[in-house]
């Protein structure tokens, strides 16, 4: 079945880069997403990448996709305290009718 896995926790120093990793099992996945969830807030779509792309950059965010290894990563440059949140990796088929989420990685920032 479909599965998306991510590590549970990541701690980084303010100003450093954060790299959150994810693996997925379904080779038919067409779209891969990163969502952000802050305490008491809804899920915020950060970015997504098509499976025929290797990389996507959007300001401080860089998404890398290794389709052969089914590995997705999110790099946040110059991590700030406002980046503290849970980050969810997710995938979807070409129909994009439903999104399969991982369990989330909690990113904490230390001074």
Partner 1 sequence: GAGVSQTPSNKVTEKGKYVELRCDPISGHTALYWYRQSLGQGPEFLIYFQGTGAADDSGLPNDRFFAVRPEGSVSTLKIQRTERGDSAVYLCASSSGTNRLEQYFGPGTRLTVT
Q: Which residues bind partner 1 (CB under 8 A)?
A: 4, 31, 35, 41-45, 48, 88, 90, 92, 95-104
Judged by CB, which is closer to partner 1: 76, or 90? 90
Residues 6+ apart with CB under 8 A from 39: 85
81-86-90 Cα angle (round to 5): 135
Q: How far is the CB of 38 from partner 1 (least distance, A)?
A: 11
Cβ proximity to partner 1: between 55 and 77 the closer is 55
- Cβ burial of 68 (10 Å; 0-12, 13-18, 19+) is exposed
Q: Report the residue number, 13 or 98, with the smaller CB distance to partner 1.
A: 98
């Amino acid at each position: 079945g479909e599965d998306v896995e991510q590590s549970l926790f990541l701690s980084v120093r303010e100003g450093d880069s954060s790299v959150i990793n994810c693996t997925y099992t379904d080779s038919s996945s067409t779209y891969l997403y990163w969502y952000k969830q802050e305490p008491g807030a809804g899920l915020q779509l950060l970015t997504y990448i098509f499976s025929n792309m290797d990389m996507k950059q959007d300001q401080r965010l860089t998404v890398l996709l290794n389709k052969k290894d089914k590995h997705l990563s999110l790099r946040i440059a110059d991590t700030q305290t406002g980046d503290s949140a849970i980050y969810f990796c997710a995938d979807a088929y070409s129909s994009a009718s439903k999104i399969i989420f991982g369990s989330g990685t909690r990113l904490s920032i230390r001074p």
